[in-house]
Amino acid sequence: MQIDKPTPAEHAEFLALVDAEIRPHRAKTHAWDDFPLILHADNRSSVLIARGDDGRLAGGIASLTREFTTNYGNIKVAGIGSVVTRDEHRGQGISRTLQNALLDRLRGQGVPLAVLWTDKPEIYAGRGFVPAGWEFHLDLGPARFEALDVPPGTVRPFGPGDVDMVVRLYELHPYRTLRNPADYPLLYNMPGTKGMVWEQEDLPGRGARTGVVFCGKGADFPDYVTEWGGHPDCVIPLLAWVRELGLATRLLVPAGEEPLVEKLVQLGAGWEIRPAGLWCVLDPEFLSGFTGEGTAAPDRVRRDARYWLGGVGEDGVVEPGPIKIGVWGFDSV
């Protein structure tokens, strides 16, 4: 078995294998529609494939590295996804070999943290991935939006001309991925994703306000508002609107956005706290220098992502770590 970067033809073959493996039956979108950055041709250099003894593609894995803002400054994080193996090569250790090779490569590139999302966490536990960080999942169904005193405004669909405005709103979030300029139009125009914009009228002493929400992420986040931006007074009327239209009844809120959570809970929305993904520490020494923490802690402790990012306790309450980080739904891979 050979581990290597894919040729353009092999990358196309890898994408087809990913699409067949992870798309729900009769999904209206392809895998590259729902994950347009990690599976983009421009990200081919961050893909590893396994070639079998016959030289043909047997499996593959992809990553996407971006900087994230934190309470200590910016830090590189690699999102890992699209781990696939051909049926005839299952049980040969290809997935494990690909994971190890990718993690070694990321360490060599100076990436201290990696994150992934899966419904089979036991597969990755042996590589050091543990549930860490936190995010809020809100149920908009019971929210009493009729109690709102909403200033005059208009609702309209998101359009290509709104990208610059939405980018400005996104960059107001304290904890976020530092996206490349080319990332935004790919994310905001994903097939199967519905964006809505709320424009409030000018009010004396306040001026105009704008809010935006994006419902779904193709076939990957059905019934969810996966990203939003703007003042809560603009976002909440939009949430009422999309619930009324049946576009979404749930909301993902990353760490650092607690004011919106508090307002929605006051309106009666249901809520729960979940880990923000499965995280792996690739360079504990870097994290110690980054935060000034953990210099006296045992190595096994510093290699546990929960030590740095905190997590969700058995009682469902946040147990903070020194690093506060937020992952928006569009940035999960």
More confident residue, 23 or 54: 54
* Confidence check: pLDDT of 206 > 80: no
Domains defined along the chain, listed by start: 2-133 (3.40.630.30), 136-274 (3.40.630.30)
Q: Is the dihedral of CA 300, 302, 305, 307 positive or negative?
A: positive
* Confidence check: pLDDT of 203 > 90: no
* Confidence check: pLDDT of 237 > 70: yes
Name the pLDDT band for 208 (thresholds 50, 70, 90). Answer: low
94-110 mean pLDDT: 96
pTM of the full structure:
0.94
* Confidence check: pLDDT of 207 > 60: no
Name, in order, each residue with C-beta under 8 angstroms of 232's C-beta and a sequence gap of 6 or more.
Answer: 259, 260, 263
Residue 193's pLDDT is 94
Residue 133's pLDDT is 98
State how far the Cα of 319 lies from the Cα of 333, in Å rounded to an integer: 25
137-165 mean pLDDT: 90
* Confidence check: pLDDT of 154 > 90: no
Asked which of 37-51, 139-153, 165-179, 245-259 is least confident by mean pLDDT, the reply is 139-153
Contact 196, 213 (CB under 8 A): yes
User: What is the DSSP secondary-structure string of 209-249?
Assistant: EEEEEEE-BTBSSTTEEEEEEE-HHHHHHHHHHHHHHTS-S
Per-residue tokens: 303: 């290699």
Residue 123's pLDDT is 83
Name the pLDDT band for 1 (thresholds 50, 70, 90). Answer: confident
243-256 mean pLDDT: 96
Q: DSSP character for 219?
A: B
* Confidence check: pLDDT of 183 > 90: yes
1-30 mean pLDDT: 91
